[in-house]
Amino acid sequence: MRTTIKRAQVNIAATFVVIATLSTSAAALAASSKGKESELYVYGGITTVVQKIKSSEPKVGNFGSALSVDLFLEKDVHDGKALLYLNHSQGYDPLPSSNGDYEGTTGAPGDSNYDEGFSDTRIAEAFYEAPLASALTVTVGMISPQRYFDNNSVASDQTRQFLGNPFVNNSAIEFPGHRPIHTYPGGIRLSAPLGKHITLQGGLFEDAKDYSGTFGHTFVIAEADLATGSAGATTNLRFITWKSNKNQTRGIAVSADRNLGDNYMVFARYGKKTLPTTPPDGASEENLTNLANSLKIAFSVGGQALVGNSFTVGLGYCAETPNAKTLAKDSWIETYVSYEVNDSVHLTVDYQSIKNKIFGPLSDQAIASASVVAGRLQVDF
């Protein structure tokens, strides 16, 4: 317990050190860029999460924390833009998926080298985006598919909205990209608006484990976006289809969000995954077990309300149905209250109630229920 508390204290202290350092560096770089009349834009954010966990599973710890620093360097190049995204993440996470993207572990529960603590710094994204024609845009490089696909105005940003992974993206979509080490695959994306209300986009990404750039396995995704309504009541519908060559899985998904005036928004997501009828070539016994027991259907619904000028309240529910009939359906309830200190600083209190969730290797069958109380600090710069 002392070790976990110490880790949390280190994360919080590191947050303030990074804020001071990046603020000074960003100001100096901005001044330098302005003097050179450069089009380089520097921005980012710092997120600190501290969690108190109560679980029915003895292997799940009772305390967690995470720190993430996101730094974006963006520059106009000809008619397009180049973007470089650097990420540093560190923390202690005994309950995967309850703290958004800020998770990472070493080994597996029960192993001698198992440690929920993690620390990693890397280039997460690096891509170039430019118009190919008046109604066609191409993005090439190291890209986060979640940046463009399955977006949602109410539930897509774990720094200010819901913290649990089932509300950040549809659980039934097997997006490529290693969340624990915060890096995304190489790929290409095309986007084309059809009039004012419809946008089509599609992407081809690397789906190999090591992201070596060989495209030995591919992930294909396509999405049609439909926007309707007036400014006071706008509805966004997204229809998604995808296929993973690596796991021989595919699926469909639907996402919707709607604003009800200026102060209320609601959302809903549904996804269904189709598993292979025959095992993938070279699949290990562990992979076969994971595949046989993997998630089949995911559904989530919720909303947010603006209270006064500074508070946002969110509430969401997610139900996930596993493929294996021997596993119980799991559910996820989350609510949060966020306070906007100013345009750059947000403080959030978050609560999650998790039922029948599998944590750790499926072969270990660590099926648990848990409740998580979390505090978040988000600083944008």
Domains and CATH numbers, the chain: 2-380 (2.40.160.10)
pLDDT band of residue 35 (cuts 50, 70, 90) is very low
CB 347, CB 331: distance < 8 Å: no
**Average pLDDT of the chain, as a whole number:** 79
Measured from the Cβ of residue 168, the count of other Cβ atoms closer than 10 Å reads: 21
Q: How many CB atoms lie within 10 A of CB 271?
A: 24
Better pLDDT: 342 or 275: 342
CA angle 58, 99, 219 (to 5 degrees): 110
Percent pLDDT > 70 in the chain is: 68
Tokens of 110: 């029960």
Across 258-277, average pLDDT: 89
**pLDDT in the model for residue 286:** 54
Look at residue 209 in the predicted model and tell me its pLDDT: 55
Residues 6+ apart with CB under 8 A from 326: none
Long-range contacts of 365-368 (CB under 8 A, 24+ apart): 366/57, 366/59, 366/60, 366/109, 367/57, 367/327, 367/328, 368/55, 368/56, 368/57, 368/60
Rounded Cα distance, 314 and 353, in Å: 14
- Output the CA torsion 53→58→60→61 (10° steps): 60
214: helix, coil or strand?
A: coil
Residue 162 or residue 290, greater confidence: 162
Residue 313: φ, ψ to 5°:
-115, 130
Residue 194 pLDDT > 50, yes or no?
yes
Please compute Rg for the chain using Cα positions. 21
Quick one: pLDDT at residue 251? 94
- The pLDDT, as a whole number, for residue 21 is 46
Residue 377 has pLDDT above 90, yes or no: yes
pLDDT recorded at residue 213: 59
Q: What is the pLDDT of residues 87-137, one digit of tens each?
A: 888 887 666 666 665 555 444 444 555 556 777 788 888 999 999 888 899
pLDDT of 361 above 60: no
Q: Is the pLDDT of residue 367 over 80?
A: no
